[in-house]
Amino acid sequence: MKRANFLSALGLTFLGTMLSSSKKAAIITYCGDPITPPIPEGPYYKDEKLNRINIAEHKEGLPITYLFKVEDSDCKPLAGAIVNIWQCDNNGHYSDYQQEKTLGETWLRGYQVTDKQGNCRFDAVFPGWYNGRLTHLHAKVRVEGKSTLTTNFFFPKEVENKVFQSPLYPKGPNPVTMAQDFELRGDKDTHRRDTLVMQVSQDDTGKMVAKYTIAIA
**Alpha carbons 187 and 154: distance in angstroms, whole number:** 15
Angle at 83 (CA atoms; ends 115, 102), nearest 5 degrees: 135
Cβ-proximal residues to 185 (8 Å cutoff; 6+ apart), any chain: 178, 179
Among candidate residues 55, 11, 18, the one with its CA nearest the CA of residue 208: 11
Q: What was the pLDDT predicted at 33?
A: 81
Q: How many domains does the chain have?
A: 1
* Separation of alpha carbons 54 and 104, rounded Å: 18
Residues of the chain with pLDDT below 70 are 1-26
Look up the domain containing 150 and give its range.
3-215
Query: How high is the pLDDT of residue 199?
Result: 97
Write the pLDDT tens digit of every residue in 43-72. 999 999 999 999 999 999 999 999 999 999
pLDDT of residue 27: 80
What's the pLDDT score for residue 18? Answer: 36
31 near 186, Cβ under 8 Å?
A: no
Is-contact 111 146, C-beta < 8 A?
A: no
Q: How far is residue 17 from each of residues 186, 194, 197, measured CA to CA in Å?
A: 24, 9, 7
Residue 135: CATH number of its domain: 2.60.130.10
DSSP symbol at 18: P
Give CA–CA dist 66/75, Å, rounded: 20
- pLDDT score at 204: 86
